[in-house]
């Protein structure tokens, strides 16, 4: 993990003043770091029977796609409103200033699926909590939650269901 950490760029005052943003794009562009991320993510779920990986827009699409490929699972995008072409379900959630909405195709997950929901960073947990509610409403067999980075000081795990198995590759 030290190699990956060395490739993550800190960006001060992004997206707003006072925030230190952990930029994974610098790790994603490094072939070795990208390979390590994909390998380490897949090892967490190799023997769990995962059939679908849900990636949260937009950086969750990167790690989520790699994870799905490594596991031989399908990939399901969880997107902002109006971006998916077929029948969707949606979940509104609170943000620091206002609300946001995410959607998933109604037919994306079935009762026989074992799902990993993936996003790049766990900060306050609101987006992942909303994604979890969406996926849970589709009644899969099992749901796992995964991040590349967890910002522990923001206590995002508190926003997630207590019974959810949550994993992160790197904790700050």
* Catalytic residue check, 96: yes
* Catalytic residue check, 106: no
Angle 96-98-99 (CA atoms, 0-180°, nearest 5)?
Answer: 100
Q: Among residues 2, 57, 79, 96, which one is catalytic?
A: 96
Distance of CA 99 to the CA centre of its chain: 19
Q: Is 133 exposed, middle or buried (0-12, 13-18, 19+ CB in 10 A)?
A: middle
Which tokens is 69 given?
């490929």
Using CA atoms, how far residue 10 sits from 3, 5, 27, 65, in Å, is 15, 10, 11, 24
Q: DSSP 3-state assignment of 3?
A: helix
Q: Among residues 59, 79, 91, 150, which one is catalytic?
A: 59
Question: What residues are annotated to the active site?
Answer: 59, 96
């Amino acid at each position: 993990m030290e190699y990956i950490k060395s490739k993550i760029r800190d960006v001060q005052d992004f997206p707003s003043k006072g925030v230190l943003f952990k930029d994974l794009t610098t790790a994603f562009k490094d072939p070795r770091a990208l390979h390590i991320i994909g390998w380490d993510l897949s090892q967490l779920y190799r023997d769990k029977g995962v059939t679908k990986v849900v990636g949260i827009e937009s950086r969750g699409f990167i790690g989520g796609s790699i994870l799905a490929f490594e596991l031989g699972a399908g990939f399901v995008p969880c997107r902002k409103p109006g971006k998916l072409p077929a029948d969707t379900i949606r979940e509104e959630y609170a943000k620091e200033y206002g609300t946001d909405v995410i959607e998933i195709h109604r037919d994306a997950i079935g009762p026989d699926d074992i799902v990993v929901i993936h996003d790049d960073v766990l900060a306050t947990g609101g987006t992942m909590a909303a994604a979890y509610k969406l996926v849970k409403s589709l009644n899969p067999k099992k749901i796992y939650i995964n991040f590349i980075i967890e910002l522990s000081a923001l206590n995002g795990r508190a926003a997630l269901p207590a019974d959810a198995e949550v994993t992160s590759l790197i904790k700050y």
